[in-house]
Amino acid sequence: MSTHGRAADESTFVRTYTLTRGRTKPRHLLALDTVLDTGPGRLGPAQAEECEEILALCRERRRSVTELAGRLRRPVTAVKILISDLLDADALVVPVTSPYAASDPDADDGPTPQLLAALSAGLKRKWPDAIAYPQAG
Q: Encode pLDDT of 26-56 as tens digits.
A: 888 999 999 999 999 988 777 778 899 999 9
Q: Which domain holds residue 38?
A: 3-93
Beta pairing, strands 92-93 & 63-64: unpaired
Range 89-105 burial, b when 16+ CB lie within 10 A, else e = bebbbeeeeeeeeeeee
Residue 92: strand pairing partners: 38
Q: Is residue 108 part of a domain?
A: no
Q: Is residue 7 part of a domain?
A: yes
pLDDT on residue 119: 79
Q: Is residue 34 part of a domain?
A: yes
Q: Is residue 113 part of a domain?
A: no
pLDDT on residue 16: 67
Low-confidence ranges of the chain (pLDDT < 70): 1-17, 97-110, 131-137
Q: How far is CA 128 from the centre of its chain?
A: 39
Overall number of domains in the chain? 1
pLDDT on residue 8: 47
Q: Is residue 81 part of a domain?
A: yes
